[in-house]
Structure 1
């Protein structure tokens, strides 16, 4: 029985009180017996939580009551057991480290393509203007090895801070094409798309990342599973832990 609700979410939003928020969110999570990780930085929040469904959704509702987090959207999946061992709330310099302080998604996002539109582009072999569509996987190599979109560019990254140099090295393969950057839940491709656009590339981000695509589309054009950073490790296009029996 898949009875544990797992959520992932992030939002780039300016926070000037990260230390205070750390204490508040940790207390709220522990009160609801939630486990997982919350990262806070001046640029926003990134979280992975699991627990009883009403407790998880109640935590999110309380979070959204703060207008800075009102636009937070979550991606849900289910598991038989709690995939996290403890509750951690950390303050970081960046919620996803790129080491390029001029890239600030909280000041404005790159254009996004929704999963259904991307599927249509991939089905027809081009975007709506007839241009070639190129997918760029912004995740680390070991994540890509678990599964990725067919034909996606994989630059064998060991960490996201390598993305800018890799993008510069491969710029010629992206010029005059419609480039869609993607990652697990959307956070890395938010920064990646902005970096590519600053470099003169017509770059978009996949809204909601792979997990959002699985939720709306399923596994079309995707081979394998999606790596996630908890004890489930791999999720199928049905958003179930790999190896779970259908309907479990």
Structure 2
């Protein structure tokens, strides 16, 4: 249900972008001309963005981006607010759109790790196992302070300080996951997508929650989830109905 006049979108896509620097100039100029605010990160491995503004302006920017065939698969997650949650517009070129410091992990160059639809996850959690009867464990790939706002019931939380800590944490805890179906999750999907690739590299049965917590809220309303979802803007945390937590 729409509540507010400002449309907030978040999305990412792992796709090879050798022209990242030139792309940055074009995307910044268009977003600025439309009065949008937020953050767009571009790297050779893809794009990650959080933008907000009037719906017509946001949709026009997304439509122009999707006109480039490389971005046709972008599927923004949407929420609404009464006020603009960002103070300025930032469009940056980075080494990675989400830093893991694992050069061999390049989602833009490899098959995508298995993605689990929110509705399927709900069914698995309802029944207590996956479709093969294996125990399902939820693995939170967010930073510890984000987890403190809310998470899936009984999820594994390694109290990460930053996402680049994930590979070392996995090395320390790998044996605890053997024989289980691991579903990695994060806010919007970008971290759990990379995490699922690392889990697979370690010989584990792993899925990523497609679209992350925000898509799970949007599609299911948030069963088996407690609290809110931390977001990196002035709203701070969103409830399962995607409204700001008071």
Same-fold call, TM cutoff 0.5? yes
1:102-142 per-position Cα deviation (integer Å, ceiling 9, x unaligned)? 11111221001100000000000000110000110000000
Query: Structure 1 residue 67: deviation in Å?
Result: 0.8
Tell me which of 4, 7, 10 is aligned to 1:8.
10
The residue that corresponds to 2:224 in the other structure is: 221
Q: Which runs of 5+ in 1 are unaligned?
A: 244-248
Provide the C-alpha distance between the structure 1 equivalents of 2:72 and 2:49, rounded to a whole number of angstroms: 15
The residue that corresponds to 2:93 in the other structure is: 91
The residue that corresponds to 1:38 in the other structure is: 40
Provide the C-alpha distance between the structure 1 equivalents of 2:125 and 2:26, rounded to a whole number of angstroms: 44
Residue 199 (1) aligns with residue 240 (2): no
Tell me which of 193, 209, 212 is aligned to 1:209.
212
Which TM-score applies when normalising by structure 1? Answer: 0.97
The residue that corresponds to 1:67 in the other structure is: 69
Residue 132 (1) aligns with residue 135 (2): yes
Map 1:1-248; keep pairs closer than 5 Å.
2-107=4-109, 108-243=111-246
Query: Structure 1 residue 100: deviation in Å?
Result: 0.3
Which TM-score applies when normalising by structure 2? Answer: 0.98
Provide the C-alpha distance between the structure 2 equivalents of 1:187 and 1:169, rounded to a whole number of angstroms: 23
Provide the C-alpha distance between the structure 2 equivalents of 1:128 and 1:18, rounded to a whole number of angstroms: 41
Query: Structure 1 residue 29: deviation in Å?
Result: 0.1
Root mean square deviation of aligned Cα: 0.6
2:56 aligned counterpart, secondary structure: helix
Query: Structure 1 residue 4: deviation in Å?
Result: 0.3
Aligned length: 243
Provide the C-alpha distance between the structure 1 equivalents of 2:39 and 2:12, rounded to a whole number of angstroms: 12
Query: Structure 1 residue 173: deviation in Å?
Result: 1.2
Query: Structure 1 residue 228: deviation in Å?
Result: 0.1
Greater shift, 101-110 or 126-135, is seen at: 101-110
Q: List structure 1 segments (4+ residues) > 2 angstroms apart after TM superposition.
A: none
Provide the C-alpha distance between the structure 1 equivalents of 2:41 and 2:222, rounded to a whole number of angstroms: 29
Q: Which runs of 5+ in 2 are unaligned?
A: none
2:99 aligned counterpart, secondary structure: coil
Query: Structure 1 residue 56: deviation in Å?
Result: 0.3
